[in-house]
Amino acid sequence: MGPPMGLRDEGRAAEAAALAASLEQRHMKGVVVAGVVRFIRKRQRSGALPEKLDLGEGAEHLLTIPIVPSAWCDYSAYLELMELVYSRVLGRDLEALAGFSAAGAPVVYGGAHRSLIEQGRPERTIRNVKVHWRICHDFGRAVSEVGQSEALVHIHDALPMSEVEGTINAGWIGGILSAAGANHVQREILESPWTAEGNDRLTIRYRWR
């Protein structure tokens, strides 16, 4: 016999609170956050987005301060800005969201981390996905299994993860491959926390030419 209903409800509430706290403690590097902040500000200046947006305090704060590329920023606030772009600009199109995320990936490697992108060698580049991940995230870990013109990338220890968040991650890694010279990059999500109960990782297959 399981625990009484009241205890089960309390357990679910405690688990949800722990997951929310975990999300709030995560951070994303400013060099990534700056891209979406610039995009939203530009849309606001053009009138495509209103000056006053219905955002949480953290996300609103990111839109009002200079973003230092080397600084760690509130990940939940960054994610809220990405969800704003997804819903208000991209028409809730996941493919467009992945493309938006991919387009921002090469910006990370324009300076001190340029050597991590090996032009013409996408297989060698994606083998270092764990390093790419740690440059921009202070949580989770990424590992890869690499073959000829294809790779499996597994992201662990990054729960909770929504479909929008997983799509952002998948697009970003695809952008790294493109920056290394991979052509016609295709991706397929094989395992995800939002489609399989109890699944604790995101697995993406990439193929390219």
pLDDT of 131 > 90? The answer is: yes
All structural domains of the chain, each given as residue ranges with its CATH number in brackets, are: 1-92 (no CATH), 117-209 (3.30.70)
Backbone angles phi, psi at 186, to 5 degrees: -115, 145
Is residue 42 exposed (0-12), middle (13-18) or buried (19+ Cβ within 10 Å)? exposed
pLDDT of 4 > 70? The answer is: no
The whole-number average pLDDT for the span 81-94 is 98
Residue 118 neighbours by CB under 8 Å, 6+ apart:
124, 125, 180
- Give the global pTM: 0.86
Q: Which of 3-17, 80-94, 125-139, 194-208 has the lowest mean pLDDT?
A: 3-17
CA 149, CA 208: separation in Å to the nearest integer?
Answer: 5
Q: What is the average pLDDT score of the chain?
A: 89
According to the model, what pLDDT value does residue 108 have? 81
DSSP character for 68? P
The whole-number average pLDDT for the span 113-124 is 89
Q: Which of 39-48, 57-66, 197-206 has the lowest mean pLDDT?
A: 197-206
pLDDT of 192 > 80? The answer is: yes
116: confidence class by pLDDT, cuts 50, 70, 90: confident
CA 41, CA 176: separation in Å to the nearest integer?
Answer: 25
Separation in Å, CA 154 to CA 66, 92, 124, 158: 33, 25, 16, 11
Residue 69 neighbours by CB under 8 Å, 6+ apart:
29, 30, 31, 34, 111
16: confidence class by pLDDT, cuts 50, 70, 90: very low
